[in-house]
Structure 1
Amino acid sequence: MRTKNEIKFLTKLLNIEGIKVISHRQHEGIGIILQLEQIGKESSCPRCGTKSHRLHQNHRYLVKDLPWGENFVFLEINRRQFKCEKCGKPFSEELEFVRKRRSYTKRLARKIIQEVLENDIHSVAKKGVVTTEEIERMLKDAAKEYLKAKPSELKRLGIDEIAVIKGKGNYCAVLIDLEKSKLIGMLPGRKQEEIREVLLEWGKEVLEQIEEVSIDLWKGYKNVVIDLMPNAQVVADRFHVMAQINRELDAERKRERRQVEDLIKKAGSSEEKVEQERVLEGLKKSKYVLLKNETDLSEEQKTKLVQVKDVSPTLKLMHELKEKLRKIFEQTNNWLVGLFKLGRWLSGAKKYFPDSQNTIIRWLDEIIAYFDYKTTSGVVEGINNKLKLIKRSAYGFRNFENFRVRCLLTWQFNC
């Protein structure tokens, strides 16, 4: 027989409002079972709101709660059924600490979700507190509670995509609140129709308050923004512009290396072969010194860059043009000045960056908008990197929807 002080102590330790412990027992290999009783003697009818104390019947069952040290804890609770004194119909009382038809408390679910967001389903399930099926149910419940809300105070939106399976051409679109550095949407694909459907669910009021949208150089995103966000300025992300420049620069590097390797094979004299081998040595391991920002190069990389420029006048000019464009983006804060500088750059780059020049001309309005707004997808890229880490550790998720829920909860669960 437990003393009143022991019962009082266990009730305080359990710390659930409106609930008291009336007994407890411990079973080896199972854990601690606490029998609970509600302090209140009445409940409100969900149909008419009338408070009733007419007990109709009892429904006792066990639910899992937060462990106490190394011991699992089970709560033997009674979800009482009352009969409404006004409408005469029976109803089951609402218990704040456990959802209907759930075998665990809300606070245990919250703790488990936090653990899953830091690890993965299987490693959390191995602890034996809950099963993988229960964890997936917890995630779905949390998604209904936290992910239904529309974005609030959204002014600057970023749209991008990540590869679901690398190298398979399977991409999912992500929607980012750039001001809050927060993931607010994730779609299984990146088609215009899919993105349009999600944005329309936000409602006209949310869409009309968006002032800027940063996108990569894909027309589909641009069309959706123009159609649905009348007050938004589309801003082409400068990092994607530079990525286009880098692709063309790297393509020239590869072309020159292949050309030199062919010349070495066909060399007629030893002097000619020695000269081409010198050029090849300069081109080897030159990819990152050409593509990386020059200001970020180490002393060793700077020496290598000098070597590359010495053996290839074309790569020298292309690298200098690349660096000049980067400085234009970094140092210009006015669209008119930016337009003037960009026009001069385009006139000198036509011969060396024909594809990039065509891209810049097609996206000129969106690119020069950057000089005023300075909106980039830098935040988006940071979030995408975190999404990739989640993807690598999320092997416990059985489908995209579970992966999407985990990603969104990572940013919104503790907000």
Structure 2
Amino acid sequence: MIIGLPKEIKNNENRVALTPAGVSELVANGHTVYVQSTAGEGSGFSDEEYQSTGAKILATIEEVYAIGEMIVKVKEPIESEYKLVKENQLLFTYFHFASYKPLTEAMVASKAVCLAYETVEKNGGLPLLVPMSEVAGRMAIQKGANYLEKPLGGRGILLGGVAGVNPAKVLILGGGVVGTEAAKMAAGLGADVTIMDVSLPRLRYLSDVLPANVKTVMSNRYNIRELAKHADLIVGAVLIPGAKAPFLITRDMLKDLKKGCVLVDVAVDQGGCIETCKPTTHENPTYVIDNVVHYCVANMPGAVPYTSTLALTNATLPYVIQLANNGWKDACRADAGLKKGLNVVNGQIVYKSVADTFGMAHLPVEEIL
């Protein structure tokens, strides 16, 4: 198979979807890999390193899309890329369709095959979302602690406090991978942490494995509203696979939050769980509403591309090889979890949650396979 690796062009996105080591594996399996020049520079990989493992370098993104039977990316195509996507071309990347209807419509119109990292399943989990969720969860606390500083608009409170001064109160909404990693990080810095989830078994598990300065509380409207009033940092860490996250912090709640409270919505790339959050970039990461700082960068792991690229490709490469060796149809027939990654195929939405989000037509994926 001919595989194309374009350079990511989303604002301040420095990750790359394949490392030179990944290219080497694909070439060893008999495939041809075309890499856009400087695609790996943001993550610390030079064109020469790719060439040394068998890749062919192309100058432009247009050339990569034109030649690739499978395009492997990190983030969804942005508007300038829509016209480059070809009919029957396989795109393997994070899409988060439910957060942006124009992207969904563009990929439907392209008649490409869109296989989304974030909905691939294995043993009931989301293996291609886990590594970036780990990074984003830890970064949420790192960034939150930073923006709690007064010069950046925050309350002027040190996350861990000092002797004789209470630490900051951190509220984490969601006890999945993002929430768990955020809780670990916040607890390690000495914060007073509360993590919420709708699953009692999950809360029991978290209570057992997290440090003593992490409290677990059942997530419901009343509890969220009451705890939010006392929080210095609130992390939105809610995920519903393939669908938009519900709003847990609503617009009317902001008036009750502390002045200089910081909101970090890790779920923003799937629509967000904080009503007043809208996607921002690393270039302009925050804005303030009702004296509350909002940090809503949609590609948080892009700020630490070396770590993120290695963590992501450790997870994605086996699937890339599987798709290249067998073709997407046979690969998805053989692997029910990989089949769950199919979102849009040849002009049809085959992932029900995406279709339902926008009231669009849905075709069961079995009818295509």
Q: Structure 1 length normalisation: TM-score?
A: 0.28
Q: Highest CA radius of gyration, 1 or 2? A: 1
Give the TM-score normalised by the residue count of structure 2.
0.30
Considering fraction of residues, name the structure with more helix. 1
* Larger RCO of the pair (alpha carbons < 8 Å, separation 6+): 2
